[in-house]
Amino acid sequence: MDNCIFCKIIKGEIPAHKVYEDKTTLAFLDISPVNIGHTLVIPKEHYINIYETPENIMMDMMKTVKKISHAIKKGLDADGINVAMNNEGAAGQVVFHSHIHVIPRIKNDGFGLWHGKRPYKKGEEEMAVKKITQKL
Ligand code: AMP
Ligand code: ZN
């Protein structure tokens, strides 16, 4: 993809602080980190998000995520780690090349987590399960 910033990183056209790569995935520091060591794991081929990315490539990405998570915990003394993937604009995706965030968390670092808005109303859980399972 010509205009994709992550493809440019893969091709070496723009710089990045790489932490790991293998045949199908690349991991590098996020330019605007939540905490020091915030890393992005991407496929070397251009896929827009989780819907497009083939299952085997998602698995390769998760293998790299696990490797990086252990290294971040040990190397940066992280108290915790968030693993997150934003898919589509409504979910906060800004760069449209599949990526998984691996974010080191430090106790009291001030970054919260999303909170549940409200409990389910009667029947909503059953409806949600039905709607999801129909599409599996
Ligand atoms: P998302 O909202 O999940 O699409 O996140 C995209 C992430 O890419 C953001 O956290 C950005 O800080 C990060 N980012 C954008 N451009 C670069 C770049 N050139 N090098 C490293 N990270 C980048
Ligand atoms: Zn790309």
Cβ pair 106, 83 in contact under 8 A = no
Give residue for tokens 């493809």: 7
CB neighbours (10 Å) of residue 106?
A: 15
Residue from 15, 42, 12 nearest 27 by CA: 42
Active site residues: 99
Cβ pair 50, 98 in contact under 8 A = yes
Ligand 1 centre and the CA of 104: distance in Å?
A: 16
As for how many domains the chain has, the answer is: 1
Give residue for tokens 């190397």: 75
3-class DSSP state of 57: helix
Cβ pair 19, 84 in contact under 8 A = no
Whether ligand 1 lies within 6 angstroms of the CB of 93 is answered as yes
Provide the domain limits for residue 39. 5-134
Name the closest ligand to CA 48. Answer: 2
Q: pLDDT by residue (tens digit) across 72-120? A: 999 999 999 999 999 999 999 999 999 999 999 999 999 988 889 999 9
**Closest atom of ligand 1 to CA, residue 8:** 19
3-class DSSP state of 25: strand
Q: pLDDT by residue (tens digit) across 34-72? A: 999 999 999 999 999 999 999 999 999 999 999 999 999
CATH number at 40 reads 3.30.428.10
Q: pLDDT by residue (tens digit) across 6-32? A: 999 999 999 999 999 999 999 999 999
Whether ligand 1 lies within 6 angstroms of the CB of 16 is answered as yes
- Residue 90 to residue 20: CA distance in whole angstroms: 29
